[in-house]
Amino acid sequence: MRSVRLKYYDHRFTIPVGHPVFAGHFPGNPIVPAALLLDEIVCAMAATGDLPINDCSISSAKFYSTAAPGELLNLRVLVADALPMTFEVHAGARLVASGDFSGHVLERL
């Protein structure tokens, strides 16, 4: 039986309360737009540097709850042998978003 090796990458971040996007995203009850959340995920992946991938992009995403300005978010990326890379974003114990990446694995884990 073949074992699957896993690696997890975690990145904590916030979208600052003063970010200009909140002026147009529901003044009085602002939320982090999905596009901004996805951009943060892709930027975090690119900045990690030790992920064995190339040409990373998000192939699917699902949103479960909203995130507020300044809320601490935790991105967890799972990289496994021969499996698609996946991500989850949590605010505390609450799942905010999840999805899959497309990309080319450059080396085995």
Q: Active-site residue numbers?
A: 25
Provide the edge-to-edge strand list for the sheet that holds 86-91. 6-13, 73-80, 86-91, 94-105, 53-63
Look at residues 42, 47, 60, 104 and name the one whose alpha carbon lies nearest to residue 79.
104
Residues 6+ apart with CB under 8 A from 38: 58, 61
Look at residues 8, 9, 10, 71 and name the one whose alpha carbon lies nearest to residue 37.
71
Tokens of 55: 């040409």
- Report how far Cα 66 is from the mean position of its chain's Cα atoms: 14
